[in-house]
Amino acid sequence: MFRSRAWYRFSRNPLSVAGLAIIVLTVLLALLAPFVTPYPKHAVSFTNFSEASLAPSAKYWFGTDTIGRDILTRIVFGFRVSLALGGVVLLLAVPVGVLLGLVAGYFGGRTETVIMRVTDVFLAIPPLVLALAVLGFLQPNLFNAMMAVTVMWWPWYTRLVYNLTRSIRTEGFVTAAEVIGAPKWHILFREILPNCAPSILTKMTLDMGFVILIGSSLSFLGLGVQPPTPDLGTMVAEGAKYLPDQWWISVFPGIAVLVCVLGFNLLGDGLRDLLDVEV
């Protein structure tokens, strides 16, 4: 009953349905990449100079790159890296951020001051700059890129959950639990956290897009995923050298990033309206 009503309301917003469709398609393509792509072998190290730098055609829909690999195939494999990056970053950053936000928002006092000032410092530094700084110390590779993005991502959740907790802790049901003498962990995780969930979920959806974008940017700058692993950001960077003549090498991966980010954003906006939350 609740689910179907939620779906009814969700389905009345064509843009969020489109977003959902894009994401489902992207995830399916990424999961089934070896089976749905025309040239799975082209994903990593492969050369075929006789068919290098071909424009889009019936054989190679999105053309080939400078060493003859099918761009469509590499884009689909690139989704795997992007989604994995987004997923891992959020899986690490969100629990940390949420926990700190709950604690700071509920207990207040010195705990709040310490947590929130540290959070503020992180939030004051532009995310990309922070990631670049972290990667300055570390080897540029996928794992380190994930760590760098994680380090700059948790404070957003701390601040979100902190603000929510501050307003929820004065709600009647929290007072009721306090009067009963319920333990603190119960109040934090059973009373307050479930009421933050819609906002957290919505923000995560929106952030998936941004994390993918930042990951691609890092790769573009050569600080993230290293060749020959197929990554959308790296592909754009490599192709950029051949613009505008061989435009397809960088434009198609660029569009792929755009569509993926857009999908998460549309879905996130739809969820925000549906769940009536602020993020």
Partner 1 sequence: MKPLLKVSNLHLRFKLFEGVSHVLNGVSLEVGRGERVAVVGESGCGKSVTLRLIMGLVQHSNTRVEGQVEFDGINMLRSSTAKLRELRGRRICPIFQDPMASLNPTFTILDQMSTVIRRGGKARSRQEIFELAKSALGQVAITDPERVLYAYPFQLSGGLNQRVLIAMALVNQPDLILADEPGTALDVTVQEQTLRLMRGLTEKQGSAVLLITHNLGVVREFADRVYVMYAGNVVEEGSTKHIFTSPKHPYTQALMASVPKLSGGQLPQGIDGFVPDYTKPPPGCRFHPRCAYAREACKQDQPLRKLGGGHKAACVLYEEVSHA
Partner 2 sequence: MPEALLEVRDLSKHYTTRTGVVKALDGVSLEVFPGETLAVVGESGLGKTTLANLILGTEGATGGALQFGGQPLSKDRALELRRQIQYVQQNPMTTLNPRRTIFQSIRVPLQTHRIATDHRQRAAQLLEVVGMSAQYLDRFPASLSGGQRQRVAIARALAVEPKLLVLDEPTSALDVSVQAKVLALLVDLQKQFRLTYIFITHDLSVVRNLAGRVAVMYRRKIAEISSTPELFRDPEHPYTRMLISSIPVVSEEEEALKPQWPWERNLALDSGAVSQGCGFAPRCPFAEKACWGEVPPLATVRKGHQSACHMVSGRIENKLEAKRGEA
What residues line the site for partner 1 (CB under 8 A)?
Answer: 4-5, 8-9
Which is nearer to partner 1, 139 or 170 (by Cβ)?
Answer: 170
276 binds partner 2 (CB under 8 A): no
201 binds partner 2 (CB under 8 A): no
Query: Smallest distance from the beta carbon of 5 to partner 1, in angstroms?
Result: 5
120 binds partner 2 (CB under 8 A): no
Which is nearer to partner 2, 160 or 232 (by Cβ)?
Answer: 160
Query: Smallest distance from the beta carbon of 273 to partner 1, in angstroms?
Result: 15
Residue among 34, 194, 258, 276 that touches partner 2 (CB under 8 A): 194
- 180 contact choice in partner 2, partner 1, none (CB below 5 to 8 Å, kind-dependent): partner 2
Query: Smallest distance from the beta carbon of 210 to partner 1, in angstroms?
Result: 32
109 binds partner 2 (CB under 8 A): no
191 binds partner 2 (CB under 8 A): yes
How far apart, in whole angstroms, are the C-alpha atoms of residue 239 and residue 155?
Answer: 34
Which is nearer to partner 2, 58 or 180 (by Cβ)?
Answer: 180
Query: Smallest distance from the beta carbon of 12 to partner 1, in angstroms?
Result: 9
How far apart, in whole angstroms, are the C-alpha atoms of residue 103 and residue 189?
Answer: 10
How far apart, in whole angstroms, are the C-alpha atoms of residue 257 and residue 215?
Answer: 10
Which is nearer to partner 2, 7 or 173 (by Cβ)?
Answer: 173
Burial of 7 (0-12, 13-18, 19+ CB in 10 A): exposed
182 binds partner 2 (CB under 8 A): yes
197 binds partner 2 (CB under 8 A): yes
Interaction site with partner 2 (CB under 8 A): 171-173, 175-183, 186, 190-191, 194-195, 197
